[in-house]
Amino acid sequence: MSTTTSSGARAGRWLILGAVCLAALIPPLGFTGGAVAMPAIGRELGGSPFALNWIVNGYMLAFGSTLMAAGALSDQYGRKKVFSTGVGLFVLASLLLAGVSQLPWLNLLRGAQGLAGAMILAGGTAALAQEFDGPARTRAFAMLGTTFGIGLAFGPVLTGWLIQDFGWRASFLTGAAAGVLALLLGVPKMHESRDPGATGLDWPGSISFTAALGALTLGIMQAPLHGWLSAQVTGLLSAAFALMVLFVWIERRVRRPMLDLSLFRYTRFIGVQALPLATCYCYVVLLIMLPIRFIGIEGHSELDAGWMLMTLSLPMLVVPAMAASLAHRIPAGVLCGAGLLLAAVGLLYMSRIAPGQSVWDWAVPMLLVGVGSGMPWGLMDGLSVSVVPRERAGMATGIFSTTRVAGECIGLALMSAVLVGLLQWRLHVAMPSVEIDVVNATARQLAAGNRLLAMAPWPDAAHAALITAYSEAFRWVMYVLAAITTVSALVVFGFLGKAGAAPEADANSCAVL
């Protein structure tokens, strides 16, 4: 009888793992799917480049700003409840997205998907930690991380195929299908668990952090439209700074803060925070900018763009595990820094590719970036907890995850603004007699991948000059990304280059976009 009960319990745990892994497909599918679908959505629903950018930025903003709050809610009200609610919300939002006909509603629903993604990640990972112990926990989180990598690698191809054969609305149904399976297979077997010491959500901290991140992202996105020195942009950036100061003040005074700032007294912990910021600029930004270029500027189909991106994403399936094996002989900080330098080389190589070159010309630099980014990607989750005392590991993980997702949100908005600004400057230099409003509008349309709309006001003879301007602006963006990645590598070498505590998490620990 006990053997049967034990077998049933093991089967139940693996069903729970299967459900959480299925749900782990949702964040990468939601992220990469929105980027690949953006040009097709723009062609059907219209909208300004600013509004279209919210298809991705709205998702990331909601995800990053609510991740800490979702973790606190899961501790207070139950990991199973938060996880299943998040999956259900994502499924509902995806179904509504498939029928939406106006861009503002689409962006609002994308924000709901981001909120749901935060609930899924916070509740799901906490639930797994309760269900598994010891080596089984390591294997469970390895499977979770691998699933996330599969979503990154194959998400663009799946989205491209669905858009090509069924339209962009079908692309939002993949996450819904994964969510329904997760709800049916694993959630009924999941046990509810709570933190008996939880004191509830830090509402003042949560609200001030969300408002600060929102104001900063909105200010950066508005800069190409109104100018960095405009009253609107400076007001938003000033508000973001004031709100972040308020957030720090709140967190230093509450009994159980969402963000324990005392952890930043550990210098190696500061160095770890450079890793998610670096991988944002050398990898995550490309997952958005490259589909826009491939589809919107160079005219590739969504499916072809998805296949091209696999060269960038496939290394994430194997390189993290390889890096973890090497970390037993080489300091993890050295491996991470070396990987970032390799990614910087790939970015510089990518800067030399002109529009119209073959798929094979892109393969080598994207492979370099993918391999280089995969080395810190597989180590940084473990480093985030190994560089602080064991009893502070939970808070360290929360800070690290928030740094990663919030940094990605800001990084995407910032690099889009940089591309628009460079395009405006290039077009002004090339065509000084053209009205500034026309030039600025063209730059915004090109940066969003709306080549036909960008070229509509211009004579045919000027079209080649517009593409050349885009190519030069894109080249300089790659220079900027390579510089940020190189500086990050130097910071990592300085803070983490010496031998220290080995990462305690597995190589494929759950990674967030």
Question: What torsion do the CA atoms of 488, 493, 494, 497 make, to the nearest 10 degrees?
Answer: 150
pLDDT at 477: 96
pLDDT at 200: 67
pLDDT at 91: 92
Cβ neighbours around 425 below 10 Å, total: 16
pLDDT, mean of residues 277-291: 91
Q: Of the given ranges (116-125, 224-233, 324-333, 492-501), which has the lowest mean pLDDT?
A: 492-501
Q: pLDDT at residue 5 above 50? A: no
pLDDT at 485: 96
With H, G, I as helix, E, B as strand and everything else as coil, classify residue 318: coil
pLDDT, mean of residues 275-284: 91
Cβ neighbours around 234 below 10 Å, total: 15
pLDDT at 2: 47
Q: What integer best gives the mean pLDDT of the chain?
A: 83
pLDDT at 501: 44
pLDDT, mean of residues 267-292: 89
Q: pLDDT at residue 504 above 50? A: no
Domain 1-197 of CATH type 1.10.287.3510:
no
Backbone angles phi, psi at 255, to 5 degrees: -70, -45
pLDDT band at 209 (very low <50, low <70, confident <90, very high): confident
Summarised one tens digit per residue, pLDDT across range 134-148 is: 667 667 766 776 777
Task: Tell me how long the chain is.
Answer: 513
Confirm if 424 and 434 have CB atoms less than 8 A apart: no
Alpha carbons 18 and 90: distance in angstroms, whole number: 18
pLDDT, mean of residues 339-353: 96
Confirm if 308 and 137 have CB atoms less than 8 A apart: no
pLDDT, mean of residues 479-502: 84
Summarised one tens digit per residue, pLDDT across range 12-31 is: 677 888 888 888 788 787 77
| CA 238 from centre of chain | 25
pLDDT at 62: 87
Alpha carbons 321 and 418: distance in angstroms, whole number: 34
pLDDT, mean of residues 90-112: 91
* Tokens (6 digits) for 100: 């939406």
Confirm if 449 and 288 have CB atoms less than 8 A apart: no
pLDDT at 476: 96
Classify 227 in phi/psi space as left (phi over 0), alpha (psi -120 to 50) or beta. Answer: left
**Would you tell me the crossing angle of helices 267-279 and 332-350 to the nearest 10 degrees?**
30
Cβ neighbours around 464 below 10 Å, total: 10
The span from the first CA to the last CA of the chain, in angstroms, equals 45
CA pseudo-torsion sign 180, 184, 187, 190:
negative
pLDDT, mean of residues 324-350: 92
Summarised one tens digit per residue, pLDDT across range 257-271 is: 777 777 777 788 888
Summarised one tens digit per residue, pLDDT across range 395-454 is: 666 677 778 878 888 898 899 999 999 999 988 888 888 888 888 889 988 988 888 888
307 or 342: which carries more pLDDT confidence?
Answer: 342
* Tokens (6 digits) for 234: 């400076």
pLDDT band at 390 (very low <50, low <70, confident <90, very high): low
- Percent with pLDDT over 70 in the chain: 88
pTM, entire model: 0.83
Alpha carbons 33 and 341: distance in angstroms, whole number: 28
